[in-house]
Amino acid sequence: MSYAPHTHHHHPEGEQHPHPHDRPDGHNAKHDHHNDHSHHHHDHGVPTSQKRLVFALVVTFGFAFIELIGGFWSGSLALISDAGHMMTDSAALLLALIANVIGQRPANAGKSYGYARAELIGALVNSLTMIALVVWIIVEAVQRLLHPEPVNGIGVMVIAVIGLLVNVFSAWQLSHDHDNLNSRAALIHVLGDLLGSVAAIAAGAVIYFTGWMPIDPILSIAVSLLILRSTWNLLRQSTHLLMEGVPEGIDLNQVGARLAAVPGIVEVHDLHVWSIGSKRKALSAHLIINEPLGWPSLILQLNQMLENEYGIDHVTLQPAWLSERDGKIVPIHRIEH
C-alpha cells in the first residue's frame, strides 16, 4: 500500500523493497545518508513496578496456602477455587517479574531489539493460565451443582474476609502502572481474587443463614465468567502485539497520509508500524522525495512529527529520489553531490 499527494507515479520494474525487519536494528555506530534510524535511549533503573510485583507475589503466595487449607476444611468450592486462583497468581506474578527483569537487558548482536517483548510473552502466558483455571472452576462447579456437598458457612466468611483485605491491598499496590502489560495482567489476577473473596463471603453468609448449598458453585461460576472477560481482552492485546499488529490508537492509513502530506515527499510505501514492547512504538517506510539535498532537514522534521503526534520513537526511513529530468527513481546513495 502506498500513500501519495499525487494520483500516480511510475515505478521502474524490478525495484525491490525489503521488509522492515530485514535491516539491522538501530544501535550501529555508522549510518549512511540514505538510511536514517532515529532512536531514543532510556536509562533503566530498578522500576517501581518490579517492587510492587515482588510485594504482591509474597502476599498472594502466602495467603493462598491459608485459603486452600480453609477451603478443604470448610468444604467451600468458592474458597478452594480462589486459593487455586491465588496460587496461579503467584506463578503469574513471578512470570511478570521475570519478564520485567529480562526486558531491561540491553540489545545485543543476537537480539537487536533487546528483550522488551519478554513482557508480551509473559502477559500471553498469564492469560492462557487464567483461561485454563476458569475452565477448571466451571467444570468443578457443575459437578457441585449435580452433587451438592456440605459447606461450613461461618468458616468461609471468616477466611474470605481476610482474603478480601489482602487482595484490596495488593490491588492498590498494582494499580499505579496502567501501561505495563504485565502489571495489568497481575492486577487482573488480583482483582479476580478480590471478586472471589467477595463471592466467598456472600456464599458463606447465604449458607450460614439459609443452608442453601448451591450458592457456592453458582457464585464460583459467576466470578469465573467475569475473570474470563478481562483475561480475554488481555490475551487479544498481547497476541496482537506479538503478531506485530498496528498499536492501539494508531490508524496506519492516517499515518501514511500524514507522511505523504509533508512538503518534499512524493510518495510513501512499504509502511509498517508495530510495537517493540507494550510502551515503545516503531515505524519503517520507504519514501520517494523530490529533493535529495533537503533530506537531512526533512528526516529531522519527520522524526519530530511522528513522535509528537503518534508517540513513535523508533523510526527507520529509506528515501529514494524522483528525478525530474527523466522521471526515474534513484536511490539516494547513487546521487553525486
**For the chain, domain boundaries:** 2-30+246-334, 48-242
- DSSP at 245: P
Indicate the class that CATH gives domain 48-242.
Answer: mainly alpha
Q: Could you give the 3-state DSSP secondary structure of residue 313?
A: strand
Residue type, 259: L
- DSSP at 107: P
Stretch 163-179: mean pLDDT: 74
Q: Which three cell numbers stand for residue 233?
A: 481482552
Task: Give the pLDDT confidence of 72-119 residue by residue, as tens digits.
Answer: 898 888 888 777 777 766 766 677 677 777 777 887 888 888 887 887
23 band by pLDDT with thresholds 50, 70 and 90: very low
Stretch 307-331: mean pLDDT: 80
Residue type, 245: G
Q: Looking at the DSSP assignment, which residues form a beta bridge with residue 38?
A: 315
Residue owning grid cell 529480562: 102
CB of 272 closer than 8 Å to CB of 10: no
The pLDDT of residue 325 is 52
Phi-psi region of 14 (alpha: psi -120 to 50; beta: other; left: phi over 0): left
The pLDDT of residue 36 is 53
- DSSP at 293: G
Task: Give the pLDDT confidence of 194-247 residue by residue, as tens digits.
Answer: 777 888 899 999 999 999 999 999 988 988 887 787 788 888 988 998 999 999
Task: Give the pLDDT confidence of 215-228 residue by residue, as tens digits.
Answer: 999 988 988 887 78
The pLDDT of residue 50 is 66
CATH level 3 topology of 2-30+246-334: GMP Synthetase; Chain A, domain 3 (3.30.300)
332 band by pLDDT with thresholds 50, 70 and 90: low
170 band by pLDDT with thresholds 50, 70 and 90: confident
The yes-or-no verdict on residue 274 having pLDDT over 90 is yes
Q: Looking at the DSSP assignment, which residues form a beta bridge with residue 322?
A: 329
Of residues 48 and 58, which shows the higher confidence score?
Answer: 58
The pLDDT of residue 178 is 56
Give the residue from 91, 69, 54 showing the smallest Cα distance to 162: 69
CB of 69 closer than 8 Å to CB of 180: no
**Identical topology for domains 2-30+246-334 and 48-242:** no
